Amino acid sequence: MQYGIVVDSACDLTHLKTPVNTEIDFTRVPLKLDIGEKEFVDDFNLNIEEYMKEMSEYKGKTGSAAPSPQTWFEAYEKSEYVFAISITSTLSGSYASAQTAMDMFKEHYPDRKICLIDSKSAGPELTILAKKLVDLIAEGLDFDTICERIAAYQEKSHLLFVLKSLDNLVKNGRVSKLKGTVAGLLGIKLLGTASDQGDLEILQKCRGKMTAYDKLVEEMFTRNYTGGRVVIAHCFAQDTAEYIANAIHEKHADADIEIMPSSGLCSYYAEKGGILVGFEE
């Protein structure tokens, strides 16, 4: 296989559509999800509904574990030209494992090429980066040019999210307990973003059934969204995802919007009812 796109399971994609006559291997490297002593593999066989039910009923410690460098390395081996994208390095050790695997790959295959991207994000922003890579490969650009172009594109891609709960983010030390407590208050949803450094930041505390989602769409326009690619990932919130898509289409009827369920890892962090939106300027 000439080209390969490798992501970890913070990316919600289950398959990657490629243009005719463009052959790209797509591999998703799974993280591990822990509920007490029980381990779940976040691959395409994970029953997310059962996993989420078991997690919500469990009162003890839950968490996640990054893929091993060997797992990343085996995914890299499939292709001559590799583009790899990980969840933000501030949330997981996945990027560090991918980096170790990249060093191994270069040592074993000095004639091959690899480009590793710290997404500084999660979920749908990884998806739009992967889709952009497909576009660039299909253009027939050389490897180094693609690396330059995807880095420039990343500067103009964004993640916004709305969460009803921050319980798991608090348990994992990703968000302070003080901020997390706010999300538990009746009727409050949190609108947040991934910062330029890859940290999760709360932008607004919103009351009202749909206020947070309206504010999310407003924030997209504030960030120079003009009708390009959008990916909406949801944790058992299809109706809400469609509401956001319709609100975007009211302003940009031809907007390229795709809705998909969140992966196991993103479901773990977003929790039931969570919404994540990746988009390009």
Ranges of each domain in the chain:
3-154, 157-280
Residue type, 247: A
Identify the pLDDT of residue 174: 58
157-280, what's its fold? Hypothetical Protein Tm841; Chain: A;domain 3 (3.30.1180)
The CATH classification number of 3-154 equals: 3.40.50.10170
| pLDDT at residue 211, rounded to an integer | 95
pLDDT score for 183: 53
For residue 59, what pLDDT is reported?
A: 81
- CATH topology of 3-154 equal to that of 157-280? no
Q: What is the mean pLDDT, run by run of 10 residues, along the chain of 281 residues? A: 94 89 93 94 96 88 92 98 97 96 98 98 98 96 97 98 77 54 65 92 88 97 97 98 98 97 94 96 94
pLDDT at 134 (0 to 100): 97
The model's pTM is: 0.93
The whole-number pLDDT of residue 17 equals 87
Residues 239, 88 contacting (CB under 8 angstroms): no
Predicted pLDDT at 178 = 46
